[in-house]
Structure 1
Amino acid sequence: MKFSAILALCAATLTVGAAPTANFVYTSGQKFYLNGLKYTFAGTNAYWLAQMSNSDIDKAFSDIAASGVTTVRTWGFNDVTSIPSTGTYYQLWTNGTATINYGSNGLAKFDYVVQSAAAHGLHLIVTLTNNWVDYGGMDVYVSQLDPSGGGYHDLFYTDPTIQAAYKTYVSAWISRYSSNPTIMSWELANEPRCAGSTTVASSACDTTTITTWVSTMSAYIKSLDKNHLVAIGDEGWFQRPGAQPYPYDPSVGISFDDNILVPTLDWATLHLYPEYWGEADNVTEFGIAWIRDHAAVQKTANKPVVIEEFGVSIANQSEVYPYWWNEVLSSGMTGDAIWQSGSYLSTGPSPNDGFTYYPNGTVYQLVKGYAALLKLRG
């Protein structure tokens, strides 16, 4: 039996979660709900929040809330191999031993992120590791714990020792926040793939490798935390061989069609960066088709789907984004989270990676208008 068929059978016989807990966001069909009312996922990303002062965190959330956004995705990871002189980190690795940082520049700092988000009426999506080298992530686990020394990136998904270390880290977050309704959802990883920034994939890694890991880890989180939603945090790659553009048959280890059927996942994600995916001459049209095709899977799977990262070069944003947002609205896709929100802080502008929008800009006003339309659509 094909792996996708097995997942479909499981999805038909196992429901995700129990009755909703008061004040926690939950799903029903293709929508999110909160205390019996539809919850609009009008989102943004601000990965850098925990690296800022408390007053700057407040300023960032104030700017975000003023745009009408309801949901903010941020990093719940920073793995280091030496203690940084400044900033927040959550896990220190020394000769294969991980020490979780509960101090004022660790999880206690994230406490303030949660507190400030709640004060501004916002919910958080917290991503628990990174496929890429930024802020540590999977490659640190592999380099610290790989018994063979081969360094294949996909050992993160298959090696029992590495899996146990990831579970230990995840459990620290869950034990701290499982009863906090400001966190809307956990995400297993940012953009998981067979290969990473500094490590390559083994010949054995395929979509089954990551889908199996997703099934295992989402079930683990659900066993510890009955209140919060769980998603992957992936780019939504299809694996549909044939005459398709690269993102529909990329062979990077992700199958959106299979992953959305994992019964212990509550909702699914996709990202959208056409200029970096070989579609620079077809940015607007590719994005529309990408959204439409994922919305079609959303309807079949009957789970919420969110385009939780998207971006084009700054010169094109105000021209392209309205077309993509209109497709989200018309296709019935559950929601979106633009990459990424910016603010003018006490130290200057927040990090700008070429996609960042700020409160005095055109895109900020577009975000505000679109959030209002998404709330009206319901």
Structure 2
Amino acid sequence: MANKFLTILACICGVLNLLPAIAYTTDGPFVKIQGTQFTLDGYPFLFNGFNSYWLMHMAAGPEQDRNKVANVLSEAAGNGLTVCRTWAFADGGDRALQSSPGVYDEHVFQALDYVISEANNHGIRLILSLVNNFDDFGGRAQYVKWARDAGTVLDSKDDFYKNELVKQYYENHIKSVLTRINSITQMAYRDDPTIMAWELINEPRCESDPSGRILHAWVQEMAAYTKSIDEKHLLEVGMEGFYGNSIPEKQRYNPPGYSQVGTDYIRTNLIKEIDFATIHAYPDLWLSSQSEESQNEFALQWIKSHLDAARKILQKPLIFTEFGKSRKYPGFTEANRDIFLKTIYDTIYNLARSSNGCLAGGLIWQIFSEGMDSYSDGYEIVLTQASSTINIIIKQAHAMFELANTVN
């Protein structure tokens, strides 16, 4: 009962700004799954959330950068956002967490400690991604380069999924992160309920194998390995949602050209160690030649089709873990972005209600702090800069909080 009271009170404080925020403590409850629902302390857990991939990178910098981490988590919590997805990797390059296979920069690891501690202080749950499909912050390409430097002959970065040495490098990273003792809280990451879930890889693709079999086998192996170290936390793949050959009729929902990127959304999310499914959507990128109305309609059908699959086939919960609209694409206006976000948020809310929480929430891409212009990708939103967009985000946070009290 005490945990229930603190959880509810923390949510009320964060969403409604009526009282000083009460954070989840590190000895609090883990987010779990019951059927097709997320639960927290035995009660339905629905949320509005965000992506801030840069948290560890900033926390590893000078004090003015580290302050941006505290600021954005405080601002997000104050506006009712309760789940954040961020990177737990930086493979080589600037402020590298892992400078070479198995070699970690303690200062950067302490930066990740700080991110987790600050999230806990503000009552925000984290989804931590363990590697990138793309070259940003190292990713698959860096792992393959490390193996080549060690004398292994590899053809492409798709060997990340196949080569035994590369897979060993990645498994070592999983173990290093999950067993890390936080220098601030003195708690192992695998024991910390501030972490909601692990993500195996951000937006995996394997274009050399359109069937999706290679990626599927990799997920199966890495999911089992991750769970062998940590059975307390939830686990997801990191998929965008592209349907594969296991149910060909579903491929009609894919954006043009994305049925051959080496993923099979249904088959791979059925792996027993995978606890929930994810989708991403960027209609302004995927359907750049189409009208705003067509892009919004695509997003609507994309969500509906994946929720249908989550309920009827996967029988697992679903999170919309990335979506946004970039000012860098032709025709961008704030009004169009607001229409897009309202379409997404209204759909998430209505489908969460009708699915009894199977669709649990959405994580907008992305939230920045003040003074991060050099990191801009056009999608960023700064919560301290008043706008109609921020009002839409806050309204969704209120709505999802209230909805959690009505589902069974």
- Further displaced range: 215-224 or 51-60: 51-60
The alpha carbon displacement at 1:54 in A equals 3.0
Q: Does 1:337 align with 2:357?
A: no
SS in 1 for 2:198: strand
CA distance, structure 2, for counterparts of residue 115 and residue 246 of structure 1: 39
Q: 1:47 aligns with which of 30, 42, 53?
A: 53
Matched, 1:232 2:237: yes
Query: Is this contact kept in 2: 1:238–1:247, CA < 8 A?
Result: no
DSSP-derived class of the 1:178 partner: helix
Match of 1:29 in 2: 35
Per-residue deviation, residues 12-55 of structure 1 (Å, max 9, x unmatched): xxxxxxxxx96111111221111112222321000011122332
Which deviates more from structure 2 when the two are superposed, residues 137-146 or residues 149-158? 149-158
Between the aligned partners of 2:287 and 2:53, the Cα distance in structure 1 is: 26
Q: Distance in 2 between matches of 1:64 and 1:100?
A: 33
2:107 paired with 1:100: no
Of residues 297, 303, 315, the one that matches 2:316 is 303
After the TM superposition, which of the residue ranges 325-334 and 165-174 deviates more from structure 2? 325-334
Contact 1:343 1:349 in 2 (8 A): no
Work out the CA distance in 1 between the residues paired with 2:223 and 2:213: 15
CA offset digits 1:177-216 (Å, max 9, x no partner): 1111111110000001014xxxxx3xx4631111111111
Measure the CA separation in 2 of the matches of 1:48 and 1:363.
Answer: 22
**Distance in 1 (alpha carbons) for counterparts of 2:225 and 2:47:** 25
Task: Show the counterpart of 2:120.
Answer: 118
2:193 equivalent in structure 1: 181
**What pairs with 1:1-378 in structure 2 (closer than 5 Å)?**
23-52=29-58, 53-80=65-92, 84=94, 88-93=95-100, 98-104=101-107, 106-146=108-148, 149-176=153-180, 177-195=189-207, 201=208, 204=209, 206-239=211-244, 241=248, 244=252, 246-247=254-255, 250-278=259-287, 280-281=290-291, 282-300=294-312, 301-314=314-327, 315=333, 316-332=336-352, 333-344=359-370, 347=371, 349=373, 351-359=375-383, 360=385, 361-378=387-404
Residue identity opposite 2:317 in structure 1: P
User: How high is the sequence identity, in percent, across the aligned residues?
Assistant: 30
Whole-Å Cα distance in 2 between the matches of residues 313 and 174 of structure 1?
34
**Compared with structure 1, are the counterparts of its residues 26 and 350 closer, same or farther at alpha carbon in structure 2 (3 Å cutoff)?**
farther
More moved, 211-220 vs 138-147: 138-147
Q: 1:322 to 1:32 in 2, by over 3 A?
A: same
Could you list the runs of 5+ residues in structure 1 that have no partner in the other structure?
A: 1-20, 196-200
CA contact (8 A) 2:205 2:263 kept: yes
CA distance in 2, matches of 1:152, 1:31: 39
Residue identity matched to 2:77: A
Paired with 2:253 and 2:83, the residues of 1 have a C-alpha distance of: 31
Select between 250-259 and 147-156 the one with higher mean Cα deviation. Answer: 147-156
- Alpha-carbon distance, 1:307 to partner: 0.8
Over 3 Å counting, the alpha-carbon distance change for 1:250 and 1:29 in structure 2 is same
Do the aligned partners of 2:144 and 2:154 also contact (CA within 8 Å) in 1? no
Counterpart in the other structure of 2:15? none
For 2:399, the aligned partner's letter is L
Letter in 2 for 1:328: I
Structure 2's unaligned 5+ residue stretches are 1-26, 59-64, 181-188, 328-332, 353-358
Equivalent position amino acid for 2:127 in 1: I
TM-score (normalizing by structure 2): 0.79
Cα separation, 2, equivalents of 1:107 and 1:206: 37
Change beyond 3 A, Cα 1:124–1:350:
farther
TM-score computed with the length of structure 1 as normaliser: 0.85
Q: State whether residues 125 and 186 of structure 1, in contact with CA within 8 Å, keep that contact through their aligned partners in structure 2.
A: yes
Determine the C-alpha separation between the residues in 2 that align with 1:322 and 1:37. 27
Structure 1 residue 348: deviation in Å? 5.0
